[in-house]
Homo-oligomer: A and B are copies of this chain.
Amino acid sequence: MERKRAKSGEIRLTEVAKLAGVSPITASRFFRNPQALSLSKRERVASAAKELGYVPNLAARALASQRTEVIGVLIPSLTNNVFSDVLRGIYDASEGSRYSIQLANTRYSILQEEQLLRLFQAQKPAGLIVTGIDQTAESRAVMEAMNCPIAQIMEIGPDPVDMMVGFSHYDAAFAAVSHLVEQGFKRIGFVGAQMDPRMQRRFGGYRDAMKAASLFAPRLIVTTPVPTSITLGGSVFSDLLSKAPDIDAVCCGNDDLALGVLFECQRRHLSVPEDMAIVGFNDLEFMASAVPPLTSVRTNRYEMGRSAVTMVTAAIEGNRPPQPVLDLGFQLMIRESSSPRHN
């Protein structure tokens, strides 16, 4: 009957309140809304907390207040540079807010995503950011049950779960290929890897731009489900060359592949763009400093992360953005690797 359970031994709010000579609830308010206290009490609580080294117990706070200040983030890969830029935007934006980020990695698996969503559900996050628009029905159900603002990022499409920030991968790839067509290239190959939904939509843009120019041919295409890498770029390009040795340009599903293609061209003594034009996708940092500089489609990844956090936090606080879908667009960065054919 004495003490059924060992106290944690840590300083509790009650202790701080006692030392400060106020009630626990007043001390509690000090940590959440200091300006509601009179100046004198505010100082007393502050110094008491400091003296005791008080650290609030977040679990207790979450339980009592029935909410958390965590935004869950689901991304498919930590290795892919594309997502590290998005994450940087997310973390940067979260630092200006009261919310902290909880990150999870789906590894491009929609089943893994489903599981992680359930895990998040148990944490009752204040908001959620998920990658892409291709969740399972089950995942969508969980998201709807979570009853918190949700932003889907990286892409835009019809039927958002809640909000969306992204751009059209289809349009962007269409623009890149149309550029090559305009420059006078005729036999434009496509290399793709890690055929996730976004890569597939980019392929769709390539396909339709080629068809629109009456240049489409299946032999010009090499794709693989293998995770993308620079080295892989070299090998898929080699495959492409053996299927279609007469190609004069390559549209790469992303920049890693493009750099791999450039290296392979160097190895084969093919000059770029005279013998082979190259365009990439995403405009990672190295595209501009490669030799020759590589044409790519710039995507606003950092901004995407920032906006997603901004929209979600605003929604949490009741200020939903007027339109739920934000298209951040893209810019075609034309560089030497796609200079016009000079014949």
Contact = CB atoms under 8 A, between A and B. Distances in A.
A286 B119 CA distance: 36
Contact of A286 (B59, B121, B145, B259): B259
B285 A263 contact: no
Interface string A156-179: 000000000000000000000000
A59 B62 contact: yes
3 tightest A-B CB contacts, nearest first:
A59-B62, A266-B291, A231-B289
Query: On chain A, which size bracket covers the interface?
Result: 35 or more
A56 interface: yes
10 contacts: A55-B121, A57-B122, A57-B124, A58-B124, A59-B63, A78-B88, A79-B84, A79-B88, A231-B285, A263-B291
Contacts of A326: none
A290 B260 CA distance: 8
A231 B58 CA distance: 43
A171 B115 CA distance: 43
Q: Find the residue from A68, A230, A267 having the highest chain B CB count within 10 A.
A: A230
Number of copies: 2
Nearest to A268: B291
A57 B63 contact: yes
A78 B56 contact: no
A246 interface: no
Interface in A40-97: 53, 55-60, 62-63, 66, 68, 78-79, 81, 84-85, 87-88, 91
Interface stretch (A18-26, A100-108, A205-213): A100-108
A85 B79 CA distance: 6
A242 interface: no
Interface string A224-258: 00000111011000000000000000000000000
Contacts of A103: 101-103
A320 interface: no
A27 B233 CA distance: 53
A100 B119 contact: yes
